Structure 1
Amino acid sequence: MKLTFSTPILAFAFFLLAATISSCVVLSPKKYKALLAKQDSLNTGWTESQLTAENLNNTIAKLKRDTADLNGQLADLHARYTEMDGNYAKLRSNSSSAINKLSEDLKKREQRLKEVEEILRKRDEATNQLKEKLQQALLGFTKNGLTVEIKNGKVYVSLMDKLLFPSGSIVIDEKGKQALAQLAKVLKEQPEINIAVEGHTDSQKINNLGQIKDNWDLSVLRSTSVVRFLTEIEKVESVRMTATGKGEFQPLAPNTSAESRSKNRRIEIVLSPKLDELYDLIKQ
């Protein structure tokens, strides 16, 4: 609010001046000087009052501006607080949802892990049972170079070449057929088992074996001879069979002596459980 002053002081000054003028003939110089001094004092007071009023008006205007600024800042802070409060509420809601989802995912993974562990346990149990059955069925051939063992969850039936083939031949002899027939009885009772027949040789070069060019040929032809006997004669399902030749490149012993080389010349029948159930579970 702007400060203003009434004019009594100014009127009084004019009155004194008029009185002085009208009675100048009777005023003494001393009184006249006193009146002039009083007039100067009144003028000075008036000027100071005007300056004070102006300063007060400026102060009031500044206070109004400051109050408006503070009100704006307060409104801005209130808006930011409202926004932050909303964001916090949203974040808390989202966090709860994320935690719940994570908890559900963990439960599903734990359940899937338990199912995988159970499948693997059953696989290991079945593999051990298969090994025992094979050892019992092929017990009479262990002295002729037949072994049964488990490696990496698979059953390996290893037959030295002397148990199956005459030297340098790919034709199975009678002793070999007997061993494979016993093996086939167990395989036909285990339809969930996949069968891979691998042919292996030593590192000696092939000489005078007709169209058999090298150890690759010999290992492949011997493995296919075993597969044909098991499928065509013993009626093991062909869809379960695989024939491969490894040549001389996966030896069991160094090819430095006749005994070591005889260990390397072998047929390995690798039996592995079908893991379709496990694969389907992993894909989920």
Structure 2
Amino acid sequence: MIKKSVLTIFTITLLASCVSPKIYKDLEAKYAELKKENRKLSDENESLLTAKVEVENALKDSRKAYEKAIAERNKLQADYNATYANLETLKSSYSALEKNSSAAIASNSKKNRELLADLEAKERALSAEITRLAKLKKELEDRSNRVAELESVIAAKDAAMSTLKDAISKALTDFEGKGLTVEQKEGKVYVSMENKLLFNSGSWAVGTEGRRAVEQLGNVLGVNPDIAVLIEGHTDNVPYKGNGPLTSNWDLSTKRATSIVNILRENKAINPENLTAAGRGEFAPIASNESPSGRATNRRIEVILTPKLDELSKLLNEK
């Protein structure tokens, strides 16, 4: 992640030499905001998963403690019952011996007092164990409810992203087999469009067919306002040789990402604050650059859709 941030800063520095100061500052501020938000979302996701594991582990420990307490309570109850039965037996013996021997009566009286004291001690222990058992049961219920609540929110977010993926796939059906893929992973939706669908070689102007694909994607995003949209431009490792204001693959990838953002901004239903353009140059390949087909795969625009995790953050911050 640090390497990626450094490369991004380097890209923005290069852009500053060929893009107007206002556009450069806007892109720099937007990209910094996205990186901050992306890092926040990643940290929150990891915190959520860690919290879930901790709560589940605590739940397991509580169940073990609860079961152990049940066993101890049952043992104390059995001891209590046995002691009580023994006391009753001694009382019967005491009544019988009372008629025959004062010495025996005295002995049994002592044992009787000892048994009564033992019985009282076990009664106190049993009462304390019952109280502890009730507390453990309450903790077990609280942790179970928290795990269920976290799982419910996670499931709802995953379901929402799955619905979004299906909606995007349906909207972009016409572009299947034309270098466009849609997939869901790690709680996000990734829309990848190869440059053959969007741009001519060395150009950042979006063609008619590519514009139609981006506009249809925008129609879906317009009805999903709680989605952060990161547009990343990628190239192969062939050095940029075009003329004009661009000097490198970094410049070209950033310019292409910005072109996609500009088309999406034409859709007034999309909040511009949710959009960010970023250039990755040749440094995030998904295929080998040793073959023409691999280089074609690497020349792409990736639209990364991330749900806002405000509800999950609120749950994690609750005591």
Provide the TM-score with structure 2 as the length reference: 0.56
Return 5+ residue gaps in structure 1 as ranges: 1-88
In structure 2, the residue matched to 1:212 is 246
Runs of 4+ in 1 over 6 A off after TM superposition: 95-99
Q: Match for 1:267 among 283, 288, 301?
A: 301
Match of 2:5 in 1: none
Offset of 1:262 from its aligned partner?
0.6
Amino acid aligned to 1:155? V
8 Å CA contact 1:196–1:241 kept in 2: the answer is yes
Partner of residue 170, structure 1 = 204
Q: Is the 8 A contact 1:199 1:266 kept in 2?
A: yes
1:253 aligns with 2:287: yes
Aligned to 1:54: none
Residues 97 and 200 of structure 1, relative CA distance in 2, 3 Å threshold: farther
Paired residue secondary structure (2:305): strand
What letter is aligned with 1:125?
Answer: A
| Cα RMSD for the two superposed structures | 2.6
Distance 2:189 2:195 in 1: 19
Larger RCO, structure (CA 8 Å, separation 6 or more): 2
Question: What's 2:237 paired with?
Answer: 203
**Could you tell me which residue of structure 2 aligns to residue 234 of structure 1?**
267
1:229 deviation in Å? Answer: 1.4
- 1:124 alignment partner AA: D
**Other structure's SS at 1:125 match:** helix
Residue identity (%): 43
Question: Which amino acid is 1:153 matched to?
Answer: G
Q: 1:261-280: CA deviations, max 9, x gaps?
A: 01001001111222211111
> Could you say if the C-alpha distance between residues 214 and 102 of structure 1 is closer, same or farther in structure 2, counting changes exceeding 3 Å?
farther
Kept in 2, the 8 Å contact 1:168–1:209? The answer is no
* Residue in 2 that maps onto 1:145: 179
* 1:128 aligned partner: 162
Q: State the secondary structure of the residue aligned to 1:143.
A: coil
Q: CA deviation at 1:143?
A: 2.5
Residue in 1 that maps onto 2:48: none
TM-score when scaled to structure 1? 0.63
Runs (5+) with no aligned partner, structure 2: 1-123
Structure 1 residue 103: deviation in Å?
A: 4.6
State the Cα distance separating 1:208 from its structure 2 match. Answer: 2.5
Contact 2:287 2:297 in 1 (8 A): yes
Q: Secondary structure at the match of 1:179?
A: helix
